[in-house]
Structure formats: structure tokens, C-alpha cells
Amino acid sequence: MSIRSLEELAALEDLRQLKYRYFRTLDLKRWDEFADTLADDVVARYGTHALRDPLVFEGRDTLAGFMRDSLGPAVTTVHVANHPELTVDGSRASGSWAFEDTVIVPDAKSVIRGAGYYTDRYRRDDDGRWRIVETSYDRIYESITSLDDTPSFKLLSHMWEAGSQQG
């Protein structure tokens, strides 16, 4: 059994906080903060049956712009990540995360639910902050429910409706 240095333990915690921040800022639509979790040269690959072919993005502005444009105020998302398996090697790191997500799209009359595993690579940039350099996921499952099939479903509120208080 090896003894981990305090520096490595601090890096592991920084990486956990980074991924949690990635999901929090995505769900809360805090796009500048979301972009700051990403390296300038990030590459992202999201495999999804709902959108058919995997989506591939290169560059922070491209990825953050896609999320901003696709997940506007009419779309509600919730992502939960856990079970991180992280490895640190100096200013580089890699990791795997289990995740579950729910996406409510009233305009498309659908609710998408799914789960899978993210695989990430990270880099500590010159400013000392860790950022995501590469991210991708493989779905274990993805399901879609038409709101036409569930007439009792009512979205009672969401953070972006008129008059709503944001926390």
C-alpha cells in the first residue's frame, strides 16, 4: 500500500470539485463558469441515442456555445455524478465517473433519462487550476418518455420561468 502525498490528495479533491462544478454550472446554466471548467483545447464526445450519432466538439468556445444554445431556459437538466476513479500524474490526470441525468424538454413534449460512465482527462493549467482536456461518455441506457403518453405529468416550476427566484 502506498502513502499518497498531501499534494496528490489535494489534486484528487480539486478534480472531484471540478467535475461537480462542471455538472452544477451546466444544470444552472452558468455558462461562463461552465466554460472555465474546460481547457481551451478541450475535446468532447457525447454518445446519445436521442441525437443519434455521437456529438463531437473541439474547443472551449464551441462546446460551451453548443450547451448554451441547446440547453436554454426551456430545457431543464439534472446531472448526478459519483463513484470517481481518479489518477494523478503530475500536472495531468484521468478519471472515470458514473452518472445519471434527466432532461425535461416541454417544447418537444419529452423527458429523457439515462445513465452511463464519463471518461475524462485533465490538465493543471499555468494558472494552477485543473481543467477538463477531454471528456466523453458511454451510455448504459437512455430512455425517452413522451409527455403525450403521461397526461398527468406537469412541470410545476423551474428556475427559468418568469418570476422565479434563482438561488
What CATH number is attached to the domain comprising 42? 3.10.450.50
Residue 166 inside a domain? The answer is no
Residue 153 inside a domain? The answer is no
pLDDT at 167: 44
Residue 25 inside a domain? The answer is yes
Number of domains present in the structure of the chain: 1
- Give the residue-averaged pLDDT of 157-167: 64
Name 162's Cβ contacts closer than 8 Å, sequence gap at least 6.
none
Task: Find the domain containing 52 and state its range.
Answer: 6-146
Q: Tens digits of per-residue pLDDT, 9-68?
A: 999 999 999 999 999 999 999 999 999 999 999 999 987 666 677 889 999 999 999 999
- Give the residue-averaged pLDDT of 126-145: 95
8 A C-beta contact, residue 69 and residue 90: no
Residue 156 inside a domain? The answer is no
8 A C-beta contact, residue 101 and residue 78: yes
